[in-house]
Amino acid sequence: MALHHPLDDDWTLQIKWVQKRDAGIYECQISTLPVQAYFINLNIVVPTATIIGGPDIYVNYGSTINLTCTITHSTEPPPAYIFWYYSKEDDNTSTNSPSTKGPVRVVSYDSERGGVSIITDKGDVTTSRLLITNALPSDEGRYSCSPSNADMATVRVHVLSGIP
């Protein structure tokens, strides 16, 4: 949408709800004789969530599961929130997400299991760490980091059995 400011001769191109497909070269023409044109290359930056060490993470029985999600390329303020989700892979019940096989649950540090903490540092690169102490076979499954401003990232956690 082109916007004109009535108090001066400025025109502004405004693109609402920018998407990746809006990237490209734009031309601004000035109505002079001869016509003057300026070309602008618009790059679209998309925030990206990544869980370090994925797609499969192996931990020893009894150790600490440490999942670190980084959100890069945030041009606006850091994400308003980051949710962590868990799904047990061998469940055959319905799912809220096509990337998992079992029911999806929000990871909560108030769970009965205990030993769960989430630490988030916001900045140019936002980092959220999910820490689960004393890893058990029941902790195996898919874990997803879902920030407010990017698509979720998912990893599979495998707990290696053995005597701690």
Q: What is the pLDDT of residues 64-89, one digit of tens each?
A: 999 999 999 887 778 888 999 999 87
- Strands in 65-72's sheet, in edge-to-edge order, are 48-51, 65-72, 126-132, 116-121
Domain 48-160 sits in CATH at 2.60.40.10
Tokens 């440490």: give the residue: 66
Gap between the Cα atoms of 65 and 154, Å rounded: 15
pLDDT surpassing 50 at residue 98: no
Return the pLDDT at 1.
61
Q: What is the pLDDT of residues 117-140, one digit of tens each?
A: 888 898 889 999 999 999 999 899
Per-residue confidence at 110, pLDDT binned at 50, 70, 90?
A: low
Domain ranges of the chain: 2-42, 48-160
Average pLDDT estimate for 140-151: 92
Q: What is the pLDDT of residues 16-48, one digit of tens each?
A: 888 889 999 999 888 888 888 989 999 988 889
Gap between the Cα atoms of 138 and 87, Å rounded: 11
Whether CATH 2.60.40.10 fits 2-42: yes
Higher-confidence position of 122 and 96: 122
| Topology match between the domains 2-42 and 48-160 | yes
Mention every residue, 6+ apart, whose C-beta is less than 8 A from residue 110. none
Distance of CA 115 to the CA centre of its chain: 24
Which residues on neighbouring strands pair with residue 48, listed in sequence order?
72
Retrieve residue 71's tokens: 């959100």
DSSP 13: E
Query: Measuring CA to CA, which residue among 147, 142, 145 is closest to residue 158?
Result: 142
